[in-house]
Structure 1
């Protein structure tokens, strides 16, 4: 287990920040099996008010506290204040979620939906991609997947092993199949096909110059 690191510049977490952090755990936006959740969480949810390292240290402190509690080495005091009482609830929820959270590999269909969503909404609007296209994944999961996708696209020669990240576009027939299986709605299908047409037109114009 990674111990929380101490810092002379530590800034106490507010009640609102702790609730936001607990919500990230409750919604399964944090997984110890995944490479880097901290940067997307900092950008999408905390919007720069907390650094990735601060969030990671806060998570590690929570893991440490929970392990101490489970091993009988730490007792949570009983508070009357409702806000402080949420400290107890947060730890109880984390104990439950810690056992429940499991990272699952993205399917090819999910990745194709991600490619479609990124084309429509742009690489960065993880909320819209999650809400409108890849509905089986949270914004943080979409952001984390995007990190790997764009890194693979930028450095294609760094690995020889095949990956779903090698799928960088989705053709008309495959998109139609996704629509017929109700994985995307008609509006998303039409929007993506229009984007493909724009891309093909731009590529054709570049080829003529």
Structure 2
């Protein structure tokens, strides 16, 4: 369940939309082979996040994506408003 404030069930702390954006950007910048990856990402995210919090946040999101890909998350039934135009 990804949300903009992600009071992440698994990561144990609140993440603001801004922190999530910084997190995504830092993930792109620091790949799996980067020494001290989680520490570097924590510094980029700021807000007092520790390397461990950042790593847990990543693991939670990985599990979330896996659940979606495995069909364990129901697709919302969005209703459209208005009619179709030709």
TM-score bracket relative to the smaller structure: 0.5 to 0.7
Q: CA deviation at 1:68?
A: 1.0
The whole-number CA distance in structure 1 between the counterparts of 2:25 and 2:41 is: 11
Q: Which has the higher contact order (CA 8 A, sep 6+)?
A: 2
1:38 correspondence with 2:41: no
Pair 1:77–1:54, CA change in 2 (3 A) = farther
Q: TM-score, normalised by structure 2?
A: 0.61
Q: Greater helix share, 1 or 2?
A: 1
**Where does residue 82 of structure 2 map in the other structure?**
none
The whole-number CA distance in structure 1 between the counterparts of 2:75 and 2:48 is: 28
**Where does residue 57 of structure 1 map in the other structure?**
56
Instruction: Tell me how many residue pairs correspond in the alignment.
Output: 70
**Where does residue 18 of structure 1 map in the other structure?**
20
Are the aligned partners of 2:10 and 2:57 in contact in 1 as well (CA < 8 Å)?
no
The structure with the largest alpha-carbon Rg is: 1
- Gaps in structure 2 of 5+ consecutive residues: 1-8, 79-86
Pair 1:49–1:70, CA change in 2 (3 A) = same
Question: Where do 4+ consecutive residues of structure 1 move more than 4 Å?
Answer: 76-79
Report the 3-state secondary structure (helix = DSSP H, G, I; strand = E; otherwise coil) of the residue aligned with 1:62: helix
- Gaps in structure 1 of 5+ consecutive residues: 80-209
**Where does residue 75 of structure 1 map in the other structure?**
74
Q: CA deviation at 1:29?
A: 2.2
Pair 1:78–1:59, CA change in 2 (3 A) = farther
The whole-number CA distance in structure 2 between the counterparts of 1:58 and 1:76 is: 23
